[in-house]
Amino acid sequence: MALSRIFGNGQETKDPYGAPGTGKSTLISVVTIVVILGGWWLVTELELIRALFVPPPGLVFSKFLKISCYDHYMESLLVFLGVQAEVVAECEGFSENALHQHILASLYRVFSSFFLALVTAVPIGIAMGVNRFARGVFDPPIEFYRPIPPLAYLPLTIIWFGIGDFAKIFLIYLACFAPLAISARAGVKSCSIEQIHAAYSMGASRHQVMWHVVLKAALPEILTGMRISIAFGWTTLVAAEMVAAKAGIGVMVLNAARFLATDIVFLGIVVIGLIAFFFDVLMRRMERLLVPWKGKA
């Protein structure tokens, strides 16, 4: 009975002729997460799968504590926070960096790429939307490289820019660029002809129509593009860090796999996923704050 209340019984009793799939799904999602985590714990607890393949949750968590610190100030911070002394003694980091240093290195790469893409792709996308010359110039290269997986042109960026941080930032930059440019280009088409005409009939110049109407109306689309762009940039991170990176959450996972440190691989994947989720929440907040009219009126 309770189960059928959560999962539905195939037909929604409250609105039998309504659109399919309505109603809240939060509780069901919570149940799903609990089942997945519980299943993970159970198969490792019963030793159905060797820890080499699926490490127990407890092991992953203790690994989390261990690699959370590497520097002495992190150790003293953990002591200050009251974490047990033996954990502090085991502080070892991973690949000569603490977890937060890996995370910061990756965030630095992704955000600098994203920022560079933002200040270049948005103006170019807008230009493509309002100017046929710009559209003619930028459309072929963007449409050509956009569907290519970043892994495919990774070797080329290494040949061109070496194995330093610049090549990595360039790769993520390319990943971020296309969705931003395309959304900005689509965005400038989102104002209605009535809005443009209204502005002209109130005495606006072409320049004022662009600034006060076309660009404002493009904001919701641009923000959607930003959301897609940063997610795609984050996806490209692991590829970018495959070559000669010392610190980075992606390289942490790759190095851990090389030593069959499955617990660190698990931890890395969870951290990457959580950060991506955090990005999405942040971007949704920004949308609600900056373009509250989106999807209305």
CB 267 within 8 Å of CB 100: no
CB 240 within 8 Å of CB 250: yes
Instruction: Provide the minimum distance between the beta carbon of 24 and another protein in the complex, in angstroms, as a whole number.
Output: 25
Question: How far is 90 from 76, CA to CA, in rounded Å?
Answer: 13
Would you count residue 202 as binding another protein (CB under 8 A)?
yes
Judged by CB, which is closer to another protein: 199, or 239? 199
CB 112 within 8 Å of CB 174: no
DSSP annotation of 94 reads: B
Interacting positions 166-195 with another protein (CB under 8 A)? 192, 194-195
Judged by CB, which is closer to another protein: 32, or 192? 192
Q: How many helices (H) and strands (E) does the chain have?
A: 14, 0
At 97, is the secondary structure helix, strand, or coil?
strand
Instruction: Provide the minimum distance between the beta carbon of 4 and another protein in the complex, in angstroms, as a whole number.
Output: 39
Would you count residue 292 as binding another protein (CB under 8 A)?
yes
* Binder of another protein out of 83, 104, 107, 204 (CB under 8 A): 204
Stretch that binds another protein, among 123-131, 142-150, 265-273, 286-294 (CB under 8 A): 286-294
Would you count residue 289 as binding another protein (CB under 8 A)?
no
Interacting positions 205-234 with another protein (CB under 8 A)? 205, 208, 212-213, 216-217, 219
Locus of tokens 């997610």: 231
State the burial class of residue 216 (Cβ atoms within 10 Å of its Cβ: 0-12, 13-18, 19+). Answer: middle
Interacting residues with another protein (CB under 8 A): 192, 194-195, 197-205, 208, 212-213, 216-217, 219, 291-293, 296-297
